[in-house]
Amino acid sequence: MTTPIEVWHAGERVDLDAAGWARRVPAFMGCGFRVAVPSPAALTWAQTDAARVAALFARPLDDAAWASVEAQDGPVVVEGGWEYWPGRPMGEPWTGVAAIEPTGPADVPVAAVRLPWTWATETPTAGLPMLSDAADRQARRHLDRVGADVGLWLDHRGALCASTAGAVLVRAADGAWLRPDDASAPPSSWAYEQACEAVAARRTTLDGAVLASASIIRVVDELGGLLRIV
């Protein structure tokens, strides 16, 4: 997020511009979340997902900041965290809210490659909407080197679980839609859950055999945009 609409700290509005927010975020030391709210229907889902991160660190969400999200027009992204420095207790919550734009046309074909390291499935933060984008930045550097658009993460079993552009959906040879199983600790979003529900996607291990026979692999971004992997 680069242009916060509003920034809150401990229930109070803070006069902080985009540059100030960018300086503040590293102080969260990874103790933060990032969730998208593409429509009012997604608000409860997004807040619940953010609360999963708060619970991990035994910290509160900022109710005043979340009340402001409800009043926003259009899709927004909410970032937040709790300042931490060694030897001190975690501070009160910081929360930033910013407008977010759709990434582009639906169902665009993109070139994808398998990333040369595995998706972390056994860490305390696996599957949570964490604020840190260190893995994505590393992945983008690799994609630039090999000339691909999207990176695909496989877990320790060799099963597809995530991508750099969003959550994954696979159409099997028999026409059924599949999604990663829980063991892959895949990230999710409200938009992805809606897409899975629409096609009755079944959780399964997306191993090499499944992918080799798949007719379509799609990526669903946090606003519901679709990309087609080729």
Q: Please say which residue of 99, 127, 153 terminates a domain.
A: 99
Residue 2 has pLDDT above 60, yes or no: no
- Beta 177-180 vs 202-204: how paired, if at all? parallel
Question: What residues does 12 pair with on adjacent strands?
Answer: 9
Average pLDDT of 132-140? 90
Considering the domain architecture, whether residues 76 and 149 belong to the same structural domain is answered as: no
3-state class percentages of the chain: helix first, strand second, coil last, to nearest 5: 30, 30, 40
Residue 135 has pLDDT above 80, yes or no: yes
In this structure, what CATH number is given to the domain that contains residue 37? 3.30.470
Residue 3 has pLDDT above 80, yes or no: no
Average pLDDT of 17-21? 88
Tell me what percent of the residues of the chain surpass a pLDDT of 90: 75
pLDDT tens, residue by residue, 98-131? 998 877 667 778 999 999 999 989 889 999 999 9
Residue 62 has pLDDT above 80, yes or no: yes
Domain count, the chain: 2
Residue 204 has pLDDT above 90, yes or no: yes
Query: If phi over 0 gives left and psi between -120 and 50 gives alpha, with beta otherwise, what is residue 10?
Result: left
Arithmetic mean of pLDDT over the chain = 92
State the pTM of this model: 0.91
Q: How far apart are CA 207 and CA 91, in angstroms?
A: 42
Q: Please say which residue of 72, 99, 126 terminates a domain.
A: 99
Considering the domain architecture, whether residues 183 and 76 belong to the same structural domain is answered as: no
Considering the domain architecture, whether residues 74 and 115 belong to the same structural domain is answered as: no
User: What pLDDT was estimated at residue 32?
Assistant: 95
Please spell the DSSP secondary structure of 11-33, one letter per residue: TEE----HHHHHHHGGGGTT-EE
Range of the domain at 11: 4-99
- Tokens representing 129 are 């909407």
pLDDT tens, residue by residue, 71-84? 888 899 999 999 98
Considering the domain architecture, whether residues 115 and 81 belong to the same structural domain is answered as: no
pLDDT tens, residue by residue, 7-18? 999 999 999 988
Residue 4 has pLDDT above 80, yes or no: no
Q: How far apart are CA 86 and CA 38, in angstroms?
A: 36
Considering the domain architecture, whether residues 55 and 86 belong to the same structural domain is answered as: yes
Q: Please say which residue of 99, 126, 152 terminates a domain.
A: 99
In this structure, what CATH number is given to the domain that contains residue 136? 3.20.10.10
Q: How far apart are CA 130 and CA 80, in angstroms?
A: 9
Average pLDDT of 167-184? 95
Considering the domain architecture, whether residues 67 and 120 belong to the same structural domain is answered as: no
Residue type, position 119, single letter: W
Considering the domain architecture, whether residues 52 and 164 belong to the same structural domain is answered as: no
Average pLDDT of 134-162? 94
Considering the domain architecture, whether residues 74 and 38 belong to the same structural domain is answered as: yes
Considering the domain architecture, whether residues 88 and 149 belong to the same structural domain is answered as: no
Q: How far apart are CA 68 and CA 91, in angstroms?
A: 21
Q: How far apart are CA 42 and CA 139, in angstroms?
A: 28
| Residue of higher predicted confidence among 192 and 26 | 192
Residue 92 has pLDDT above 70, yes or no: yes
Q: How far apart are CA 204 and CA 28, in angstroms?
A: 35
Q: How far apart are CA 143 and CA 136, in angstroms?
A: 10
> In angstroms, how far is CA 131 from the centroid of its own chain?
9
